[in-house]
Amino acid sequence: MFDRCYVCARMLNTVAVTLLAGKASYVVLLFGALLLGIQTTLLRAEDTPQLLTPELGEPLHPSDIENYEITIFPNGKNLPEGQGTVAQGEVLYQTQCAMCHGKKGIEGPAARLAGSDGWFSFRDPLRVLRIRKHPVLLISVGSMWPFATTIFDYIRRAMPHQAPKSLNNDEVYALTAYILHLNDLLNTATQLDKHSILEINMPGKARSVIAD
Amino acid sequence: MKKTSVKAVAGNGLLDRRSFLMSGIALSASCSLGPLAASASKPGGVSSQSISESFPEWMKVPGHAATEYGQPSAHESQVRRHLQKSAPETSIFSIWHTPIENQRGIITPSGLHFTVNHNGIPDIAPQRHVLMIHGLVERPLKFDVDSLMLYPMVSNIHFLECAGNTASNAVSLTSLDQSAQELFGQISGSEWTGIPLKHLFKEAGIKASAKWVIAEGADGGSHSRSIPLDKLLDDAIIALYQNGERIRPSQGYPMRLFVPGWEGNLNIKWLHRLEVTDQPAYTKDESGLYSDILEDGKIQRFSFHMDVKSLITHPSGRQLLPEKRGFYEISGLAWSGYGKIKLVEVSADGGKTWARAHIESPILPKSLTRFSMPWRWNGTDAILLSRATDEAGRVQPTRDQWRAQHASYSFNHYNGIQAWHISSSGVVENCYV
């Protein structure tokens, strides 16, 4: 029913045509070989032999996708308009976030937002229990995350845990500002928006290496 | 009866497989003598007696009907996934471990497959689910589920492992007395069936500047990861079936991304969006939780592969060896995100001597692979180890070697050699060597 080898057939055709052309002269043969090389490369890149598929994808229009393009990139792509302050964020944090992340963003049980990563203080009498019960508290947003844009991205798509996507853009900027402030990365006077968020230099960035 | 010679291949009772097989045959032959000898007086030999008396009750009544969807025997109800304890505040982020020590073969039953859900399992109406492909493509496209079901599909058997599997052995200063399910329960094996992603990307037309794809799920947390385009074009699929049936809600119904050999977290469940880009997004899980902290404090990002790893499942933690000085078949699982398993070695003396284990077919790339080794336990302390090597030449490190490369609190991608201590009373316990 389907011809699995239609691409192969096309390649053979190309070879035949090129060889015929090559008969004319040595120069043409060389040119033909070069052409064949280029043609083969193109085929490999774009036309890898594969099964025919029904190609049932429908056009996705800009209006279909605009409300779903929520991924914020480190260069600021997709950051929305809006702004928020540390003070606004603190109020929101205490009502929306503190019950899981702790009043200071370090107590858990949910992921640690502030402070250095690593073990809890050896003077903490509950250290072993805390580690065993809440391993995610070993790492902190403030010390590990390389870009502040990720804080905005994740709060907006996934937080608060019981009601994800319920916060508006101003609220997300305010909460991002407060978490940055908990890490001494934003002073109380600065308003966070799509421009100032790109100025934040996260400590996790300088520590980053990319795996092989 | 021919007497069999049992040949040792390494210290503390590891035996040559062939001698084990021969003595096994001898054993079964001698066992079968009992019933044969007893059959001299035939049941029902007296005409007034029915044969009923000697048969169990289930052989004397008609059985019940089958059901529309079968369940395991009620006598196997102890074989269950185990929920890793969490605080009520974070219970939506749930981690369910598979009972890996109950599994034989290389396929995990779908209902027992491990599952980690950062924001619960969504109830998706398949007729309203749409897969979108956009970004750096010539033709942004959307697909409904019914359309995707008409595409040519491939089936492959692969493991899936969470990056955090066996994390406690990486970070706990003392070895926790836990079962294989508790320590290794975030690994499973399945046959996954679906559409090679390259078909859909070809249909959309990938632009030359494309390098990454941001894959996103349709769950409450819109889980997302950045994945190199080359890998997705290589062997990734949109999985629609697991072990012959449509994938279950906890595995991403109606569809998930399946990325063979790479950490579980980027096999996006409930997949609904693929954004083709020239850069990674540094999503939440690639910014912190799934990174590796190296010995010098550097944070290693995008370590996607699940490295070569193995464990002995029979026997394993918190079990009790029933027979003192008995013959046992040590059995276990090995796998590598880099390809096929090439070699598994077993030690019964804590690593002083090693012997090559038998690797059972099928030996498939990026799949659980079963190994076995006959062992005669002499009733004294023993430490069982397994060490796997893959076709890329990667060898499992010792726990110390692994920890020397990582910060003391780094817990992802741990693949150190696992040790089980057997006490003289037969108790099997997790230990460090």
CB B163 within 8 A of CB B412: yes
Q: How many residues does chain A have?
A: 212
CB B431 within 8 A of CB B423: no
The residues facing B134 across adjacent strands are B275
> From edge to edge, which strands make up the β-sheet containing B82-83?
B82-83, B94-97, B115-117
User: Which of chain B's residues have a Cβ under 8 Å away from the Cβ of A158?
Assistant: 118-119, 220-223, 284
Phi, psi of B170 (to 5 degrees): -75, -40
B139 in reach of chain A (CB within 8 A): yes
- CA proximity to B188, closest of B114, B244, B239: B114
SS in 3 state form for B317-377? CCCECCCCCCEEEEEEEEECCCCCEEEEEEECECCCCCEECEECCCCCCCCCEEEEEEEEC
pLDDT band at A37 (very low <50, low <70, confident <90, very high): very low
CB B25 within 8 A of CB B32: no
3-state SS assignment for residue A60: coil
Phi, psi of B385 (to 5 degrees): -130, 155
Start-to-end C-alpha separation, chain B? 43
Residues 6+ apart with CB under 8 A from A209: B294, B298, B299, B300, B301
pLDDT given at position B219: 98
B283 in reach of chain A (CB within 8 A): yes
pLDDT given at position B86: 74
Pairing of strands B299-301, A208-210: parallel
pLDDT given at position B45: 63
The residues facing B373 across adjacent strands are B330
Average pLDDT over residues A26-37: 43
pLDDT band at A18 (very low <50, low <70, confident <90, very high): very low
Nearest CA in chain A to B230: A45
Does B287 sit within 8 Å of A150, measured CB to CB? yes
CA dihedral B146, B148, B153, B158 (to 10 degrees): -100
pLDDT given at position A33: 43
3-state SS assignment for residue A208: strand
pLDDT given at position A120: 55
- CATH fold of A64-206 reads Cytochrome Bc1 Complex; Chain D, domain 2 (1.10.760)
Average pLDDT over residues A170-184: 97
User: Which of chain A's residues have a Cβ under 8 Å away from the Cβ of B304?
Assistant: 211
CB B386 within 8 A of CB B417: yes
B60 in reach of chain A (CB within 8 A): no
pLDDT given at position A10: 38
| Distance in Å, alpha carbon of B416 to nearest chain A alpha carbon | 19
Residue tagged 């980690």 (tokens): B116
Phi, psi of B353 (to 5 degrees): -130, 150
B304 in reach of chain A (CB within 8 A): yes
Residue tagged 């090679």 (tokens): B196
- B430's tokens: 């997790």
pLDDT given at position B44: 55
Nearest-by-Cβ selection for B299 from A74, A132, A144: A144
Kindly report, residue by residue over B273-290, the tens digit of the pLDDT: 999 999 999 999 999 889
Residue A2 reports pLDDT greater than 80: no
User: Which of chain A's residues have a Cβ under 8 Å away from the Cβ of B182?
Assistant: none
Angstrom distance (rounded) from CA B247 to CA B245: 6
Does A207 sit within 8 Å of B87, measured CB to CB? no
Kindly report, residue by residue over A101-158, the tens digit of the pLDDT: 989 888 778 888 987 766 555 556 666 666 555 555 667 898 899 999 999 999 999 9
pLDDT given at position B35: 42
3-state SS assignment for residue A174: helix
Kindly report, residue by residue over B200-251, the tens digit of the pLDDT: 999 999 999 999 999 999 999 999 999 999 999 999 999 999 999 999 999 9
Pairing of strands B187-196, B154-161: antiparallel
Angstrom distance (rounded) from CA A190 to CA A211: 35
pLDDT given at position B141: 98
- CA proximity to B253, closest of B94, B124, B112: B124
Per the model's pLDDT, the better-predicted residue between A45 and B277 turns out to be B277
> Where in chain A are the domains?
6-46, 64-206
Per DSSP (E only), the strands in B43-137 are 82-83, 94-97, 115-117, 130-135
pLDDT given at position A15: 39
Average pLDDT over residues A175-201: 96
A-B CB pairs within 8 A amount to 180
Does B202 sit within 8 Å of A204, measured CB to CB? no
Domains of chain B, with CATH numbers?
110-166+185-296 (3.90.420.10), 309-431 (2.60.40.650)
Burial class (CB in 10 A: 0-12, 13-18, 19+), B351: middle
Kindly report, residue by residue over B115-153, the tens digit of the pLDDT: 999 999 999 999 999 999 999 999 999 999 999 999 999
3-state SS assignment for residue A198: helix
Nearest-by-Cβ selection for A53 from B203, B275, B291: B203
CB B311 within 8 A of CB B169: no
Cα A143 off chain centre by: 18
Average pLDDT, chain A: 78
Kindly report, residue by residue over A56-111, the tens digit of the pLDDT: 999 999 999 999 999 999 999 999 999 999 999 999 999 999 999 989 888 778 88
10-residue averages of pLDDT along chain B (433 residues):
72 86 46 42 68 94 96 96 81 92 98 96 98 98 98 98 96 94 98 98 98 98 98 98 98 98 98 98 95 92 98 98 90 98 98 98 98 96 98 98 93 97 97 97
Task: Give rounded-to-5 percent helix, strand, coil for chain A.
Answer: 50, 5, 45
CB B255 within 8 A of CB B194: yes
Nearest-by-Cβ selection for A210 from B86, B293, B301: B301
Write the ipTM.
0.90
- CA proximity to B291, closest of B201, B380, B164: B164
Nearest CA in chain B to A204: B299
| Distance in Å, alpha carbon of B316 to nearest chain A alpha carbon | 22
Residues 6+ apart with CB under 8 A from B142: A57, A58, A59, A60, A64, B130, B131, B132, B133
pLDDT band at A6 (very low <50, low <70, confident <90, very high): very low
Residue tagged 């640690």 (tokens): A112
Q: What is the DSSP string of A103-140?
A: TTSSS-SSPB-SS--SSPPTT-TTHHHHHHH-GGGGSB
Cis peptide before B397 (omega within 30 of 0): no
Average pLDDT over residues A189-198: 96
Element of type H or E holding B235: helix B229-235
B49 in reach of chain A (CB within 8 A): no
Per the model's pLDDT, the better-predicted residue between A1 and B381 turns out to be B381
Q: Tell me the helices (H) and strands (E) count for chain B, helix number first.
A: 9, 26
Angstrom distance (rounded) from CA A44 to CA B198: 13
